[in-house]
A and B are shown apart, each in its own frame.
Chain A
Amino acid sequence: DAMVIQNPRYQVTQFGKPVTLSCSQTLNHNVMYWYQQKSSQAPKLLFHYYDKDFNNEADTPDNFQSRRPNTSFCFLDIRSPGLGDAAMYLCAAATAALPYNEQFFGPGTRLTVL
């Protein structure tokens, strides 16, 4: 089945130690999103890629970076994680070929910062 895959499902890192979260999709969709979701809150968009074009949300901290080496893969890099960065990180994919923005979500990576 076509899907969005996130690895790992659970990630533990130390305060200030760089961490990378991975996302891949078999949908061949040209748009990919990264969201941060804290407990009992809605997902908050960090940034998205439209093909190779990177689109950062205005309030996304510089500590968060992303790479998209090809259509299938997208990475979220947190350069110096703080305690406040502990959250669920969700990746999603969508196609711009449709007149509506249906996003397909991965299962998420829960990040713990010690």
Chain B
Amino acid sequence: AQSVTQLDSHVSVSEGTPVLLRCNYSSSYSPSLFWYVQHPNKGLQLLLKYTSAATLVKGINGFEAEFKKSETSFHLTKPSAHMSDAAEYFCVVSDRNTGGFKTIFGAGTRLFVKA
């Protein structure tokens, strides 16, 4: 069965300090994994994706994530938080099945950035 767990519903950091948003998944196959960001009253924007190529994935706005199969994790990191990073972040896992794709969203992690 496919699932995705975002381990923190809220994360608070100070501006200029590192960001870590945690995501664990389970999948029967070789999944694709995504991180999306959502600012208030906006749609979802893709930050980065893992699609079975390099396990360390670099995305937009200085974010990166590492796919660790042994730990079934895909944590999102950024070396230095900026005020504009305050938003909701969703980890998404997707598997191909007979009908197309099965895509599961995590519950989301709200990131707060303090000045």
B43 touches A106 (CB 8 A): yes
Among the listed B36, B42, B49, B90, which residue makes an inter-chain contact with A100, where contact means beta carbons less than 8 Å apart?
Answer: B49
Please classify the interface of chain B as helix (H, G, I), strand (E, B), loop, or mixed, using the class held by over half of its residues: strand
Number of interface residues of B (CB under 8 A): 23
- Measured in the bound complex, the distance between the Cα atoms of B30 and A1 in whole Å is 32
Closest chain A residue, CB of each to CB of B34: A102
A-side interface size class = 20 to 34
Q: Tell me which residues from 80 to 113 in chain B have a Cβ below 8 Å from any Cβ of chain A.
A: 90, 94, 96, 99-101, 103, 105-108, 110
Rounded to whole Å, the gap between the CB of A35 and the closest CB of chain B is: 9
Cβ contact of B41, chosen from A43, A100, A102, A110, cutoff 8 A: A110
CB-based contact B105/A103 at 8 Å: no
User: Would you give the shortest CB distance from B37 to chain A, in whole angstroms?
Assistant: 11
- Which of A41, A90, A96, A107 is the one whose CB lies under 8 Å from B100? A96
